[in-house]
A = this chain, B = another copy of it.
């Protein structure tokens, strides 16, 4: 059996991961200049690995490379947001359909544990834990659907939205609503009611709209359109 994984990280990989982290967490705000030379100096390496990292980040739209001019932290695009939400919704609906068909009560305890933990996180207003548990919940659904890869796809679309929402603090009331959404989803799932689950999911995923609109209004300078 392959024990694998030592997978030596290259310098470019490290820069990529670090920059990505700082961009996603908004330590680096959209529009910030990221010249190759500056970043290279900051990390104490040459421009080449930095350049490679920026190229990869560019393919995720996390940085905008203006040829011969400048490289900046990527601004948000409403069109792209819409596209990401559309894809995420589509994929997760398909997940729910499969999950409904494949449902078995052996999955129930995992969901129960996850929901319990979510309720605790809400009570303690631990937004970071909640974020993790929310992802776990959606990952569980993908497992039930026998499509674990789908969660990776969902996550890649979700991450683009998450960066925006990092501009807005979540309060306990909002989180409580989301937990109730999760409970409803689980109920439909356990009843193998795909139609009901789909409707519940559409509501669940639409709650983010007002947050996005608020952020867009309050931080227009971080947006392209």
Residues of A within 8 A of B (CB): 7-8, 10, 48, 51-52, 55-56, 59, 67, 79, 82-83, 86-87, 89-91, 93-95, 147, 149-150, 152-153
Question: A147 vs B82: C-alpha distance in the bound complex, in angstroms?
Answer: 9
Question: A149 vs B88: C-alpha distance in the bound complex, in angstroms?
Answer: 13
Chain copies in the assembly?
2
Contacts of A55 in B (CB 8 A): 52, 55-56
Distance in Å: Cβ of A53 to nearest Cβ of chain B: 10
Are the C-beta atoms of B52 and A149 separated by less than 8 Å? no
Are the C-beta atoms of A67 and B10 separated by less than 8 Å? yes
Distance in Å: Cβ of A219 to nearest Cβ of chain B: 23
Are the C-beta atoms of A149 and B94 separated by less than 8 Å? no
Question: A87 vs B156: C-alpha distance in the bound complex, in angstroms?
Answer: 12
The residue from B52, B56, B83, B90 contacting A93, defined by CB atoms under 8 A apart: B90
Contacts of A150 in B (CB 8 A): 83, 86-87
